[in-house]
Chains A and B, each alone.
Chain A
Amino acid sequence: MRQKSRAFFILFSILFYGWTALSFSQERFRKNAPDPDPLPTLNLPEIETASLSNGLTLSVIKRENLPLITVRLVIFAGELHSPEEFPGTAAFAANMVLRRSVKHDSEEIEERVESIGGQFYASIFPDFVMFTFTFLEEFLDTGLEIISELILQPAFTSVEIASVKRLMFYDLLNKATDSEYIAKRQLDQILFINHPYSKSVYNEEVIKNLNERVLLPFFNTHYNPNHAWIFLTGNLSLGTASRKVSRYFQTWEKKNREIPALPSLIPNKKLKVCFVHKPEEKQATIFMGNILAPVSAVDIFPLLVINQVLGGTTTSRLFMNLRESKEYAYYAFSQLELFKACAVYLIRTRVRPEVTRAAVMETLGEMEKITKEKIPSFEIEQAKSYLIGNFPINIETHDTLSLKVAQIQAFQFGEALWDDYLENIMLIDSNRVFEAAQKYDFLSPVVVIVGDREILTEHLLEFEEVEVYDQKGVHLYTLTKETSDETR
C-alpha cells in the first residue's frame, strides 16, 4: 500500500512537473519580442519612360491589383515662376485649367469627370504644379481626353475667373484660421526673403490683383509639353499608354521658354524669434526651421536620418523629451522639406503658453546635441530601420505611388531616391550623419510662435528679442524686455 502510494506520488510529481514545465515553456515566448525574419526583397513597381515628339515625357508605373488608373501631369510652372508683382499666378492658372475647356463648360467637365468615377484636382508647389486624376480603368480614353482638352483648349472666361478668384480668396481666408498654417507661412516668408521662392508665400489680398492679363502670358509661356511630364499608374503597358497619350496630346505645341537660373539661398545666420498674434488661441504653436542649401543627392540620406532621430515620429528625441519627459507639448515633430534649390528642416510643436521659452530652448538643445555629439549607433540603426520599413508603405496605393515617383522625377533625384534608396539608407552610419550635421546650419533657426498676445506676452518677454508680425506678415514692432511697454 505504502509502495503504491509512493509510486503514485512519484507519478503525480512527474506529471505535475511535466505539465508545469510544458505550460511554462508554452508561454516563455511572450516575455520578449520575437526576432524578425529576413526581409524579403523589395521589388519596386516597374517604371517605363518614353518621350513624345513634342517633348512630353511619359512614364508608366505598373500596378496590377486594382481596376483604377491614376494620371499625374506635372507642369514645371510652380509658384516661383509667377510674375514678381503677381504672386499666386501659378495657383490661379492651375485652378483655371481645372475649370472648363473651349468645348465644355465647367458643369459639363465636372459631369464627365464624375461619370467615369473620377476625381480631378491640382496641387501647387513652389517648383511645379501637379494635376491628378484617378478614375476606373476602362475609361482611360475618356480620362485622357478630358485632361488633354483642359490643357490644350482651356477657356478662361470672365465668369470662371471670378469664380476661381472667389474660391481662392475664401480658401486662403479659411486656412488662415489655422495656427499651424499661419506659423508656416510666416516662417517661409522669413526664410525665403528676396528669393523667387518667396512668391509661394502670399495671403488672400493678392488674389484681387489676378486677372486674364496676368493669366494668359503665364499659361502661354509655361504650359508646354516640353516642360511637362505625364505619369500613368495602373495595369497598362508603355505601348498602350504611348499610343493613347500621343493620340490626345500630340497637337500640344512645343515651345521654348527662358527661365533664369535660381539664385542660391542663404540660410538664416542668427537665432531669430518671431511672434504672430492669433486671438483666443489657448496654446502656443511653434514652428522652427532653416534652409539647408545647396543639398546634394548624397546628403539627403544622412539628413533623412537626422530628421528621423530628431523628430520623425513619436519615438524620436523631440517627442520623447518635450511631450513624454517634460510634458510641455501636445506634439513635437520635425520634417525635411525638399525643393529643387534647397531643403528646409522644420520643427513643429504645440505647447502650454507658460513653457514656450523652455520648449524652444529644449528644442535648440536637442539640435545642438546633434551637431556636437555623434548619434549613438543604435539610434542611427533605429532611424534607418524606420526609413527602410516605411518606404514600401509610402508607395502602397496608386495615389501614393504615383506621387512619390512624380516627385522624384520633378526634383530630378533620379535613381538615388528610388532604385538605390534602400542601399543609400543602409550605408549611413554615425560618422556620415555627424558630417552632415556639421555641414549644415542647425543652430540658427527662425522661430515663429503663434498664439494669443494676452496670454503669451509675459512669456515672450523671457526671450531677448521678439519680432512681432501681423497675420499678413507685416512687421509691427520688436519686443524686448526693455521696450515692451513703449512698443506695445
Chain B
Amino acid sequence: MLKKMTLFFGLVIFLVWGWARAQTEHRPPFPITQFTLDNGLQVILSEDYSLPLVSVVITYKVGAINEEAGKTGLAYLLENLMFQGSENIGRMQHISFIRRIGGTLNAATMEDKTIFYQTVPSNQLALVLWLESDRMKSLEINASNIQRTKIDLIEEIRHRKTTDPYLESSLLFDQYLFPDFAHSHPIFGQEEDLRELTVAEVKNFYSKFYCPNNAVLAICGHIDKRKTIELVRKYFGTIPKGEKVTPLPPVQLPEKEAIDRTYRDPIATLPAFYLGYRIAPAKSPDFYPLKIAEYILLRGKTSRLHQRLIKKGIAFRLEGGIEEKKGLAGFKVFVVSTNEIMKERSTKEVLTEITRLKTGLISEKEFGKAKNLFRIDYVHQYASCADRAIFLAENQLAQNALEKLGEELDKYLSVSTLQIASVMNKYFTPGRIFLDVKVR
C-alpha cells in the first residue's frame, strides 16, 4: 500500500512538474503587460531591471502598402517628416532631445508598418512620451517642411540608383514575384511621384494613419509599471481617435506560372540571377517548415547553397531567404557570379539543391544545426530593450497573442523532415520566377 501510495504521489509530482514546466517553457522569457487606451492605442510594457535604460517603440500600421499608384514614397516621406517638428517641438528637436541625454533613436518604413524607436536613460521616459505624443497629436506639416524632405529623399533615390548596381533588377524581380502594385513598388518611392505630392495629400495620409487607434506603443526596460501607465495615459490618453482604418482587401495573386525574364543592368559589372517562389505566408502551418528549410539552404557558411556556390567558387555573392509581405511571402535566391558560364552553373546548383531538399533527406546533425542557428537568431530578436520592444510591437501588430510567444519558437523547433519535404514539394514547383541579369 505504502509502495502504491509512493508511486501515486511520485506520478502526481511528475505530472504537476511536467505541466508546470510546459507552461513555463511556453511563456515568453520576460514579463508582459498589455492594455488599450480609450482612443484605441495598444500599449505593451515589459520590465527589465538589468540596466537603468528604457526603450520606447511606437509602430504605426502604415507603410508602402497603403500608397496609391502615383503617390509612392508617401509613407517614407512621412517617416522623415516626423522629425521636422510638431506643435511644441521644433524642427530636428526630437533628435536633439534624445541625443543630449545620451539616447539613441531611429525609424524605419516597411511595407506594412512604420517604426520609431529610442533608448534613453530610464529617468527620461516622460521626455520620450512627450516627444512621441506631440508628433502623433500635432505634426507640423507645411510646404517648406515637405519641400526640404522631398529634396533629401530625391537625392537619396538618385544616389542609390546610381551606386547600387542590382537595385533596379531587385525592384523588377519583386514586381514579378508579387505582381500587384501594393506589394511591389519601392518603399522609397518614385522620384516623379514624390515631386508631385501635395501638402493636402500628406496631411490626409497623416490624419488617416498616424492616429492612436492605428498604433502600438511598446515600452521595455527599467520602469515602474504603475507610473508608466499613468504617464502613457497622460501623454496619449487625450489624443483623439482617428477614423477607423479599413483593412486592405486580401491580395489575389495570379495562378502560379513560370516567369523567365532577362534584364540588362547598366551599372552592374558581374552577371547575376534571381530565383523566386511564392510560398505560404507567416502564421500558416506551412510557414514553419519553410523557415527551417530557409536555414538549411541559406543560413551560415555550412548551408547547402553556400557550400555549393561560394565554397566551390562558382558564385561571388549569395543572398536570399523568405521575404514576408503583408499576407504574402516569397522565397528568394540572389546570386552574382564572375561570368556567364559560372552563372549557368550556379543556377543548376541552386535548382539541384532545391530538388534534393524535396526528398526530405536531412541528417539529424544538419537538422539540429539549422534549428540551433534559428534559435540563436530568435533569441537575438530580444537581446536589447529596443530589440524586445520592437519584437513585441511587431507581434502585436501582426495580431499574434503575446502570451503565447513562447509557443511560436516551439513551433519552429518541432518541425520534422517530413514537413520540410512536404512544403518543398508544395511550393517549390516549376511555376518559379527567374530573372537573368546581364551586364551591358
Identify the A interface with B (CB < 8 A).
26-27, 29-43, 45, 63-68, 107, 110-111, 114-118, 134-136, 313-315, 324, 382, 385-393, 395-398
Contacts and interface: CB of A to CB of B under 8 A. Distances in A.
B302 A385 contact: no
Contacts of A136: 372, 375-376, 379
A134 B134 CA distance: 41
B126 A34 contact: yes
Most buried by A among B100, B103, B133, B376: B376
25 contacts: A29-B234, A30-B137, A34-B126, A34-B127, A37-B124, A40-B123, A45-B50, A65-B48, A66-B383, A68-B379, A110-B300, A114-B373, A116-B372, A117-B376, A134-B376, A136-B375, A136-B376, A314-B99, A315-B96, A389-B120, A390-B104, A391-B102, A392-B121, A393-B53, A393-B104
Q: Counting chain B CB atoms within 10 Å of each CB, which of A31, A65, A324 scores highest? A: A65
B238 A26 contact: yes
A313 B96 CA distance: 9
Interface in B95-116: 95-97, 99-104
Given A114-B369, A117-B375, A389-B120, A41 B52 contact: yes
Chain A interface mostly helix, strand, loop or mixed?
loop
A33 B97 CA distance: 9
A43 B50 CA distance: 8
Given A30-B88, A382-B100, A388-B102, 18 more contacts: A30-B130, A39-B123, A41-B52, A65-B29, A65-B30, A68-B379, A107-B302, A110-B301, A111-B369, A134-B376, A135-B376, A315-B95, A385-B100, A385-B102, A389-B103, A391-B102, A393-B53, A396-B51
Contacts, number: 133
Contacts of A135: 376
B123 A30 contact: no
Contacts of B127: 33-34, 36
A65 B30 CA distance: 9
Of A68, A107, A386, A393, chain B has the most CB atoms within 10 Å of the CB of A393
Interface of B: 29-30, 48, 50-53, 87-88, 92, 95-97, 99-104, 119-127, 130, 133-134, 137, 222, 234-235, 238, 300-302, 365, 368-369, 372-373, 375-376, 379, 382-385
B88 A392 contact: no
Given A110-B302, A391-B102, A115 B368 contact: yes
Nearest to B50: A65
B308 to A, nearest CB: 13
A33 B92 CA distance: 15
Contacts of B53: 392-393, 396
A388 B301 CA distance: 40
A314 B100 contact: no
Contact of B102 (A66, A115, A116, A389): A389
Contacts of A397: 383-384
Nearest to B387: A397
A114 B97 CA distance: 42
A361 to B, nearest CB: 25
A389 B51 contact: no
Nearest to A324: B92
Contacts of B376: 68, 117-118, 134-136
Contact of B100 (A38, A68, A386): A386
Contacts of B384: 396-397
A42 B51 contact: yes
A66 B384 CA distance: 10
Contacts of B300: 110, 114
Q: Across chains A and B, which 10 residue pairs bring their CB atoms closest together, nearest first?
A: A389-B102, A390-B102, A117-B376, A117-B372, A34-B126, A37-B123, A40-B52, A392-B51, A386-B102, A389-B121
Contacts of A393: 53, 102-104, 119
Contact of B123 (A36, A43, A63): A36
Given A39-B123, A387-B102, A30 B301 contact: no
A389 B52 CA distance: 9
Contacts of B95: 314-315
Contacts of A30: 87-88, 130, 133-134, 137
Most chain A C-beta atoms within 10 Å of own C-beta, residue among B137, B368, B379: B379
A42 to B, nearest CB: 6
A442 B133 CA distance: 43
A45 B51 CA distance: 9
A147 B238 CA distance: 57
Nearest to B104: A393
Nearest to B377: A117
A314 B127 CA distance: 19
Contacts of B30: 65
A45 B127 CA distance: 27
Nearest to B103: A389
Nearest to A118: B376
A382 B102 CA distance: 9
A235 B400 CA distance: 30
A40 B235 CA distance: 23
A41 B123 CA distance: 11
A129 B137 CA distance: 51
B313 to A, nearest CB: 10
A404 B294 CA distance: 34
A392 B88 CA distance: 29
